[in-house]
Structure formats: C-alpha cells, structure tokens
Amino acid sequence: MSVHRDSQLDMFAKASSATAKARGPSHRRPSQPVVHSNEDMARALEESGNYRILRKLVARPIASVRQPGFSRLGVILDTETTGLNHRSDEIIEIGAVAFTFDDDGAIGDIVGIYGGLQQPSRSIPPDITRLTGITDAMVEGQLIDIRSLRTLIEPADLIIAHNAGFDRPFCEAFSTIFTGKAWACSVSEINWSARGFEGTKLGYLVGQAGYFHEGHRAVDDCHALLEILDREQRDGESPFTELYRASQRSRIRIFAEHSPFEMKDHLKARGYRWSDGSDGRLKSWWIEVGEEDLDDELSYLRSDIYRWAEAEPPIVRLTAFDRFKL
C-alpha cells in the first residue's frame, strides 16, 4: 500500500512540475487601479443620464492687467440687512465686485472687490442670522469702510443688484456715495424664463447653471451673479448684454390714480402694485412698462378700469438713474 501511495504522489508531483514548466515563470505584477480625475468621473456620471453634477463656483481673481477695449465699469452689489424696511432696518454687510465691460455688454475683468460688516444699533434678529450666518459676535465693533467702497462706486457706470428695488433704497439711506448712480436689476430686467430658468432667485440660477456656491454672504453672492451674467446663451447673447441694453431704455410708471375700488383685483392680476403714498409716490395702483407698451396700457385703463375714453392717468418717465429708488 505504501509503495502504491508513493507512486501516486510522485505522479502528481511530476504533473504539477510539467504544468508549471508549460506556463513558464510567473513575473506578472499585481494590476494597478486606473486613476480618474474628478472631472472624468463627473463627466461619466453626467453621460450616464442618471446624474446631474453641480460644480463648485470658483470666484475670478482681480486682474493684474486689464484687457484693452473694456472702457466701462460695472459694480455688482449685494447687501445683508436686519430686515426688509430701509427706514427702520440697517445694513450689516455690503459686498461689491467691480468689473470692466464694453459698449456691447461684453464683460472684461474683475478690477476690485470689497466686503465689509457693520454692527447695527440693535441685535441681529435670529431669523436673519439663520438666513445669512451673520451673528452679533461677527459684527461687534465692525464698520463698513466707506472710503474703500467709494473707490469702487464713484467711477461706476452701472450698479447691478439682484433685486435692486431692495438694495438701492438701503444703500442710498446708508451713504450719499450711491446717490445719482445708474442702477440695473438682474431679477426684473432679464427674461430668465426665456433662457430656460425656472426661477429668478440667485440660488435657482446658480443651481440650474450647474454650480453651487456659499450663498447669503454678500461678496460670495456678487461673484456668483457675475458668473451667471457672463454665461453665453441664446445665440451667444449673455444675460449681462440683455441687462445692459435694458438699463439704457427708459421705462414709464403709470399710476391708476382714483381707479374704482372694485377694480383692484383686476389691476393686481395685470401686474399693478399698490403704493400707500408713504414712499413719496401717489397713493394708487401703479405699474412700469416700456415705451412701446404705453399706448396699450393706457387703452386698457381707459376701457376696462375707468371706462372713460378721455381719462389721463399720471405717468412718470424713468431711466436707470431713477428706477428702483426710494
């Protein structure tokens, strides 16, 4: 038995040796994992159709040398405040990003940045802290540097705010450096819907453009808005080009003064807003339209609201120097 068992062992040993010789010596190295860049992985996920990727928005630096041909200066401005009323609430942060642009609305370089906090006369409300992340401790002893801010604002041809109707009254109440400047509103003076966006809030615009950023801090929001304004869309026309062109057109504010009370819902549905007279305007419903829409709007008021063909509601012509004021 032992001889037979040894013969079997010997047979398998020879077979194993022969197989090893046939395969040859093993010098193969362990396979190394393939390294993909973050962008490669993001692109692969996007191309699968199952994922949507948001890329972190990186702020542009201040240009060391300005590109020639961009002779105009714009300033994107954002404020954080203690509330919504410019008469009783206060600015606690201002952010500003100055950039060059040309007469066609093409953006050049960032040429200046300012961000500053200011301590208000009373504690910051908790809901404002939740929204902005700004605490009483952060603003304690802080003052906005008007001199630094002035170097950006005074030479500006246009100040842009994402809801200029909010920011302009606060800024003009804060300092005279904002008085007499031309303003543009990137909410109301750009047709975002026609550009495929589902909302006008900055967070929506940034997200739908494929980015994310640290929102609700003034300078960060300014940088984010600049990137969205400089995106080429719709036959190569950027949102800023549309905004700049709109800022150069005059608008007409029509006051439906003494309109019948029972017509208020009709006016509201058409886009009219109520003014109680406390801001210096007439106490009435009002709307702003372009010059090209003036005749149609007056016809509507005469036929549907006043029902009197000779009615002459008050109108005021506005430019970028007048719009969005107190």
Q: In a structure prediction context, what are the per-residue pLDDT tens digits for the chain, which is 326 residues long?
A: 444 444 443 544 444 454 444 455 555 666 667 667 888 888 898 899 899 899 999 999 999 999 999 999 999 999 999 999 999 999 999 999 999 999 999 999 999 999 999 999 999 999 999 999 999 999 999 999 999 999 999 999 999 999 999 999 999 999 999 999 999 999 999 999 999 999 999 999 999 999 998 777 899 999 999 999 998 765 679 999 999 999 999 999 999 999 999 999 999 999 999 999 877 778 999 999 999 999 999 999 999 999 999 999 999 999 999 999 86
For the domain made up of 72-248, give the CATH fold.
Answer: Nucleotidyltransferase; domain 5 (3.30.420)
Three-state DSSP class for residue 40: helix
Greatest Cα pair distance in the chain: 129
Helix (H, G, I), strand (E, B) or coil at 265: helix
Length of the chain: 326
Q: Whole-model pTM?
A: 0.82
Question: 53: left (phi > 0), else alpha (psi -120 to 50), else beta?
Answer: beta
3-state secondary structure (DSSP) of residue 176: helix
51 backbone φψ class: left, alpha, beta (φ>0; ψ -120 to 50): beta
Tokens found for residue 65:
């040398």
CB-based contact 217:47 (threshold 8 Å):
no
As annotated, the active-site residues are 216
**CA distances, 320 to each of 154, 160, 188, 248 (Å):** 16, 10, 13, 7
